[in-house]
Amino acid sequence: MKIFIDSDNIEEIKKYISWGVCDGVTTNPTTFYKSGIVGGVGGIKKRVADISGLIPGLPLSVEVTSEMPEEIIKQAREYSAWADDIVIKIPVTDSKGNSMLGAIKQLVQEGVVVNVTLVMNFNQAILAAKAISSGMEKLAIRKNHFVSIFAGRITEEQGVERAFQVIKETRAWLDFHKYKNVEIIIASIRNPENIEYFSKTGGHAMTIPPDAIAKALLSARTKEGVAKFMEDAKKLN
């Protein structure tokens, strides 16, 4: 399972690259806002360029900021030209429930790599996969695209077992129907318990905020053991 860092914080990304646990990066308008990015699209573009320089060859997801299909397509074309391996995040529907699958299919046809985001159930996931697959039908080179299933948000609404089931059944469906270029990203991870539990669903990747990764390494017993070994090592002198 690949690990994507869910952050636009340069120092945090550098840290997890150095640890060997960064297979890509995901961002969204909320992460940019929390980081104090200003200057609109220009500010986002600069930060994206900085991140891209850290992870050459790895996927970097950047989300559109419009709900209008025509504007989504325009933004996606612009953003995807910023750097190699840019992945365009597009919500599966708008805030009123209108489908964005038409825009997703068109962009895939144009060679834009997409990450269909805010997916909350099995039906949304397989329809997104169908739209992606349809867009790739006539392409000579087929790149991997993504469907982000929001495990944390599903858990809050329907329980953790339901979230597990949605991801696991989507993976089984993709494998059965041989969708080789559509990968599941397990998203909205909240804590180390989520990492452990949802890692067992068969999702291709998990996007994790830095604080959850840091906490996943913590164990009082590990710290206690290291302290004991260091104490005893001093006695050997």
Q: How far apart are alpha carbons 68 and 87 in whole angstroms?
A: 19
For the chain, the residue count is 237
Q: Per residue in 85-132, pLDDT tens?
A: 999 999 999 999 999 999 999 999 999 999 999 999 999 999 999 999
Q: pTM value?
A: 0.95
* Pair 186, 149: CB distance under 8 Å: yes
Sign of the CA dihedral 161, 163, 165, 168? Answer: negative
Q: What is the pLDDT of residue 225?
A: 97
Q: What is the pLDDT of residue 237?
A: 81
Candidate list 89, 130, 143, 223, residue with the active-site label: 89
Q: What is the pLDDT of residue 144?
A: 97
* Stretches in the chain below the pLDDT threshold 70: none
- Looking at the structure, give the CATH architecture of the domain made up of residues 2-234: Alpha-Beta Barrel (3.20)
The answer to whether residue 89 is catalytic is: yes
What ranges do the domains of the chain cover?
A: 2-234
* Pair 136, 119: CB distance under 8 Å: no
